[in-house]
Structure 1
């Protein structure tokens, strides 16, 4: 993808992601300059469960399948940012991300967020707050799954 086409695609998708909610265009422009493009063919792993925290990604084209212990959690499509929790938490990857189709990603280098803290604290604060909100929503979803599991166990269905 040409650099202009890549930038146009990122500008189109990035503001629609929850991670960049409320971020001003001038801040998006400077953030976009730190991104690069990477492609994977269907079946290739982007990162693996238990792997070291690395870069994060904005999915530009195609679908990515996320799995835990080899079991599919869900698929994500264009406009989704993924892989960000591990570098923020300095934790091993909790899922495996695999290209379900041929994909194109915008790579968000893990150092970008660390550098933002010093270079653009306002943008850093917005991104961290948005990620905290995303993680809180994920925790709420996990609570519902745990409650379903407890009910199944109490009813003798496990």
Structure 2
């Protein structure tokens, strides 16, 4: 979980309605998202991987390796998201090392969760 206060004053939040697809598995990814409010489901080939809540980040892998989306993201409730571009992502890592550690912790937790499912 990241410090959501880093994203509150950006003025670039996006409202998403319950049931709306944020991105599809296989899509090109140019942004990651910070979830300021609501909940989001991540799934691969239709199977739910994770349910995300306030403070979660998702879509970060697209900014790290420029690969297609590895999962789909769907809003379970009305949500407020902050899209984070690659430039902003790199700037946050430079300015706030804890942000980089939070992203790595998120990725490690998801990998461990996937390993348990195999």
Whether TM-score is above 0.5 comes out as yes
Partners of 1:52 and 1:135 lie apart in 2 by: 19
Q: Which runs of 5+ in 2 are unaligned?
A: none
- Is this contact kept in 2: 1:57–1:106, CA < 8 A? yes
Aligned to 2:108: 136
The one of the two structures with greater contact order (alpha-carbon pairs below 8 A, sep at least 6) is 2
| Pairs aligned (count) | 117
Structure label with greater radius of gyration: 1
Q: 1:145 offset after TM fit, Å?
A: 2.2
- In 2, Cα distance between the equivalents of 1:54 and 1:41? 21
The Cα offsets for residues 17-74 of structure 1, whole Å up to 9 and x where unpaired, read as 2x44xxxx8xx4xx65556110111221111100111211111222211111122223
1:109-140 deviations in whole A, cap 9, x for unaligned?
232123x17xx7342x4433332233223222
Unaligned runs of 5+ residues in structure 1 are: 1-16, 147-158
Between structures 1 and 2, the one with greater strand share: 2
- CA 1:69–1:47 in structure 2 vs 1: closer, same or farther (change >3 Å)? same
CA RMSD of aligned residues (A): 2.4
Show the counterpart of 1:83.
59
Q: Secondary structure at the match of 1:93?
A: coil
More helix by share: 1
Give runs of ≥4 in structure 1 deviating > 3 Å: 31-35
